[in-house]
Amino acid sequence: MESQYKSSGNGGMEVGERERGVAVANKRNMRGCDVVLRFFALALTLTAAVVLGVDKETKTVPVTLVPTLPPVNVPLTSKWHYLSAFVFLVVANAIACGYAAISLLLTLANMNGKKGITMIIIFFDLVMVALLFSGVGAAAAIGIMGYQGNSHVRWNKVCNVFDKFCAQAAAAVAISGIAAAAFLLLVLLATFNLHKRH
């Protein structure tokens, strides 16, 4: 009887330890994913802010001033801060980049997973999702208008002239979109983590 009890007791402990070991390994994996994704989001938002923040192009365009004279070559410059949607996207990326850095440090410092800090991080991750997706939407809408124009409101396309400027803006929008998706994944991961621990 004694040996039976002992063996069952040991078996129980072994199972318990194995489960605890798996849980710890899962938690470590989750934290690893979180740190990698957060670093990824930091790098992407920084890249997007820089790519759009240095976007500038000068082109010499022939303009006909008087119909009887040949056209005059006029240098025209396109800068990122001429369009408020692009300014919004640069600011959104800068805020998200700063927050990604702070939250990365917080996550690394919060290795024992304090509840309050976890909830604060989830809240701000969600705010970044909202901020970045609205910025991406705004800049993409203006970018598409620049590429295609619109005859109904008589807004002509400008990307046939400023092709490099538009390509750079499109790249920044795409990078910001991936960064926004990274923050969305971070929220999902944290929710999944909370869900598993429940």
Among 67, 73, 111, 195, binds a copy of itself (CB under 8 A): 195
| Strand boundaries in 22-160, DSSP class E | 56-63, 72-79
Count the neighbouring beta carbons within 10 Å of the beta carbon of residue 167. 13
Residue 91: CB partners within 8 Å, gap ≥ 6? 135
Q: Is 75 in the site for a copy of itself (CB under 8 A)?
A: no
Residues in 139-158 that interact with a copy of itself by CB under 8 A: 139-142, 144-146, 150, 152-156, 158
Residues in 77-136 that interact with a copy of itself by CB under 8 A: 78-79, 82-85, 88, 115, 118-119, 122-123, 126, 129-130, 133-136
Beta carbon nearer to a copy of itself, 42 or 180: 180
Q: How far is the CB of 10 from a copy of itself (least distance, A)?
A: 30
CA angle 60, 65, 68 (to 5 degrees): 120
Beta carbon nearer to a copy of itself, 13 or 167: 167
Q: How far apart are CA 39 and CA 56, in angstroms?
A: 28
Q: What is the distance of C-alpha 60 from the center of its chain?
A: 35
Residues in 44-73 that interact with a copy of itself by CB under 8 A: none
Q: Is 192 in the site for a copy of itself (CB under 8 A)?
A: yes
Residue 64 backbone zone (phi > 0: left; psi -120 to 50: alpha; other: beta): beta
Radius of gyration for the alpha carbons in the chain, expressed in angstroms and rounded: 26
Residues interacting with a copy of itself, by CB under 8 A?
78-79, 82-85, 88, 115, 118-119, 122-123, 126, 129-130, 133-142, 144-146, 150, 152-156, 158, 180, 184, 187-188, 190-192, 194-195, 197-198
